[in-house]
Structure 1
Amino acid sequence: MRRGLAGALLLSALLVLYIVAVADRGLALARTGEPVGVALGLAVLVLPALGVWVLVREWRTAVTVQRMADELQREGRLPVDDLPRSPGGRIDRAAADEAFATARAEVEGSTDDWGAWFRLGFAYDAAGDRRRARESLRTAARLYRRA
C-alpha cells in the first residue's frame, strides 16, 4: 500500500470518528426536548453532514484522479516531474513558470480535454499554488467522468 494512501485512510478514519462524536452530541441536544437544545442540536448536526459531504467529495475526486493518471500513463501522456531543483529539493521557479505557461496554453487551446486540465493541475502544484491545482484536478475529474 502506498504511504500516501495509508495516511489518507488514517485521516479519513479519524474524521469519521469525529463526525460520529459530533453527530452523537447533536442528537443528544436535539433529544432534550428543550427548544434551545433542539435548535442547538440541529445546528450542530450541520457539521457532520458537511464533513460527510467533504469526505465523499474528496475521495471521489482522488479515485478519479488516480484513474486518470493510470490512463495517461498507459498512453504515455502522464506528466513527468523533471523540473530542475535546488539542492534543498525546491523546484526552480523559472522552470515551474515555464511549465505552467505551457500547460495553461494547452488548456486554453482545448478546454474540454481532461488530460490538459490534469497537466495544468500538476503545473499549478509545481508553481506552489495548491488551491488552483486542486481546482484544476476537480475540473479534469468532472470532464473525465463525462467522457
Structure 2
Amino acid sequence: MLGALVVTLLLALYVWQIAGRAVALIGTGAPVAIFIGVGVAVIPLVVIFLIGKEFHLAATVQRMADTLAAEGGLPVDDLPRSPGGRIDRAAADEAFVPYREAVEADPQDWGAWYRLAFAYDASGDRKRARSSLRTAASIFRSVHAGA
C-alpha cells in the first residue's frame, strides 16, 4: 500500500508538471501553441481518471476479500512451490478446473469469479486474472450497491 501511495504521489508531481506546461502553452495565445496545450492538458485528465479507476478497483477487491474472509470463502494458497517460491504450473493448472467450473455453474457469483481470478494468476495468466477480478468487482458492486 505504501508503495502504491509513493508511486501515486510521484505521478501526481508529473501530472502537475504536465498541466503547468499545458497552461503555459495555452497562455501564449498562439493558435498552434493553444492547440498543442489543449492536447497536452488531456494527458493529466486521462492519468487522473485511470488512477481513480485503479484505486476504486483496489478498494472493491479489499471489500470482497474481507467479505470472503468473514464467510470462510477465501481461496487457499496451498499449491506446491519450487525452492525459489514459484508455483508449480502443472499443479496450478490442475487446481484451476474447479474454479472455472464454479463460474460456469453460476456466472453471477462474484465469489466464484474472485477465486477464478486467483486461479488464473497462479496459472500465470495475468490478463485473464485481471479480467476475472474486474468481473467479480462489477458483480459485487451491483449486489452490494449502497452498502
The 2-side partners of 1:83 and 1:60 are apart by 30
Aligned residues: 143
What is the aligned partner in structure 1 of residue 132 from structure 2? 136
Q: Deviations over 1:58-112 (max 9, x none)?
A: 0000000001001100100001111000111110111111122221111111111
- Aligned residues: CA RMSD: 0.9
What is the aligned partner in structure 1 of residue 55 from structure 2? 59
1:126 aligns with 2:122: yes
What is the aligned partner in structure 1 of residue 93 from structure 2? 97
Secondary structure of 1:45's aligned partner: helix
1:43 aligns with 2:43: no
Q: Deviations over 1:32-81 (max 9, x none)?
A: 11111001001111111110011000000000000100110010000111
Q: Where does structure 1 differ by over 6 angstroms across 4 or more consecutive aligned residues?
A: none
TM-score, normalising length: structure 2: 0.94
**Percent of aligned pairs with the same residue?**
57
The residue type paired with residue 79 of structure 1 is P
TM-score, normalising length: structure 1: 0.94
The residue type paired with residue 136 of structure 2 is A
The residue type paired with residue 125 of structure 2 is D
